[in-house]
Amino acid sequence: MKPGNIPVLILAFNRPLLTKSLIESISKVRSKRIYFAVDGPRVHNENDLHLVSEVRNLAGLIDWHCEVHTLFRAENIGLKKSMIQALDWVFESEEQAIILEDDCHPIPEFFEFCAETLTKYKNDNRIMQISGTSFVSISGVNNARYYVSAINDIWGWATWKRAWDLFEREVPEHDNQDLQDKLSKYFGDRKIVKWFTRYVEEAASPNSQVWSTQWTLSLIKNMAYTIVPQTNLVANVGFTRDATHLTGDSFKLYAKFKTQKIKSNFNPSNLFVNRTLDSERFALIKATDSNLRLKVQFVAKFRRIIVRFVPANLVEKIRLIKCRNNA
């Protein structure tokens, strides 16, 4: 399959400069079908009105021979809903797709890599995602074109309809023993299990804007994994104050992983999860993820204790107020 034949979903909101740069990246492979989803402006936000309109007008930059589909929302529905609904929208029509948020800028080799692996693993249920990012060093352990991982980064990725059809719409209780057993089997590392469990707990909150936890749960439930390239093929350039997530200074550590072509010319000999490389990947997560900082852990634990002594109806009122403030 030619790289330009894979449908591309662009997910954007109110960052026109980043979105323009992304479209310019896609133009290098002249993708033949593009799905362009833009969330609506937030209520009483004049700045959003201007910026969102500017982002939508960027569809005019797609001036090569291309089939363009747009999903422009009149109102803001938030990151989580907009992401899930956009993916549902694409897979109503497509069997596979590349997914790129406005701050994820790929090099041409990313599209080639996706074309190769989407075709190769199209009917292999052991694989549910192709990643474009790689945050491990090139070494004797990482000497093939790609490896299999239980950690599925989503800063530029691809998947199939058959995988997205398995998306977990509901979030289970984080302390459910059945879930904990599955996490232990899947990750094979109690520290990773503990880290991910916090995200499951967060995802259950009504005002959570994290959608990717449910996607990871989909892979875990089906004991399916992610293909990760040997080198980094997508640059995340969105570590700015206007980002929804990833605004901490520690995330700038990812900037040292420059995009580059894959160095190897042979594929791995098996599809076993590379636990050594997953441990290396998790070491970077520990250095950057605020959920792993002691202060955050203490506050979360304190909040859980307080909630036990607060009436349920009052807790619900507080959550509703937070939802309105985040709208």
Rounded Cα gap, residues 261 and 34, in angstroms: 24
The count of domains in the chain is 3
Q: Check which CATH number belongs to the domain holding 48 and give it.
A: 3.40.50.1100
Last residue of a domain, one of 102, 126, 159: 102
Last residue of a domain, one of 102, 135, 168: 102
| Residues 177 and 251 placed together within one structural domain of the fold | yes
| Residues 159 and 284 placed together within one structural domain of the fold | yes
Task: Give mean pLDDT, residues 244-256.
Answer: 65
CB-CB neighbours of 26 under 10 Å:
23
Of 248, 241, 244, 238, nearest to 102 (Cα)? 238
Q: What is the pLDDT of residue 292?
A: 62
Q: What is the pLDDT of residue 137?
A: 93
Last residue of a domain, one of 102, 134, 150: 102
Q: What is the pLDDT of residue 255?
A: 83
Residue 296 has pLDDT above 50, yes or no: no
Task: Give mean pLDDT, residues 234-260.
Answer: 71
Task: Give mean pLDDT, residues 232-259.
Answer: 72
Pairing of strands 146-149, 234-236: unpaired
| Residues 108 and 247 placed together within one structural domain of the fold | yes
With cut-offs at 50, 70 and 90, classify the pLDDT of residue 243: very low
With cut-offs at 50, 70 and 90, classify the pLDDT of residue 323: very low
Q: What is the pLDDT of residue 295?
A: 45
Q: What is the pLDDT of residue 309?
A: 65
Share of the chain above pLDDT 90, in %: 79
| Residues 176 and 300 placed together within one structural domain of the fold | no
Domain span including residue 305: 293-327
Q: What is the pLDDT of residue 282?
A: 97
Task: Give mean pLDDT, residues 212-238.
Answer: 96
Of 180, 177, 176, 178, nearest to 196 (Cα)? 180
* Partner residues linked to 12 by β-bridges: 38
Residue 314 has pLDDT above 80, yes or no: no
Q: What is the pLDDT of residue 326?
A: 43
| Residues 194 and 300 placed together within one structural domain of the fold | no
Q: What is the number of alpha carbons within 13 Å of residue 95 lying toward its C-beta?
A: 7
What is the rounded average pLDDT for all residues in the chain? 89
| Residues 187 and 51 placed together within one structural domain of the fold | no
Task: Give mean pLDDT, residues 46-56.
Answer: 97
Q: What is the pLDDT of residue 291?
A: 65
Rounded Cα gap, residues 170 and 65, in angstroms: 40
| Residues 111 and 240 placed together within one structural domain of the fold | yes
| Residues 256 and 310 placed together within one structural domain of the fold | no
With cut-offs at 50, 70 and 90, classify the pLDDT of residue 150: very high
Of 94-108, 205-219, 309-323, the one with minimum mean pLDDT is: 309-323
Task: Give mean pLDDT, residues 217-225.
Answer: 98
Task: Give mean pLDDT, residues 142-146.
Answer: 96
Task: Give mean pLDDT, residues 122-141.
Answer: 97
State the DSSP H helix or E strand holding residue 307, giving kind and residue range, or none if neither. helix 294-308
Q: Check which CATH number belongs to the domain holding 211 and give it.
A: 3.90.550
| Residues 127 and 275 placed together within one structural domain of the fold | yes
With cut-offs at 50, 70 and 90, classify the pLDDT of residue 1: confident
Q: What is the pLDDT of residues 53-100, one digit of tens each?
A: 999 999 999 999 999 999 999 999 999 999 999 999 999 999 999 999
- Please give the structure tokens belonging to residue 48: 């959003």
Task: Give mean pLDDT, residues 258-285.
Answer: 95
Q: What is the pLDDT of residue 289?
A: 85
In contact, 68 and 34? CB cutoff 8 Å: yes
| Residues 107 and 84 placed together within one structural domain of the fold | no
| Residues 227 and 121 placed together within one structural domain of the fold | yes
| Residues 86 and 35 placed together within one structural domain of the fold | yes
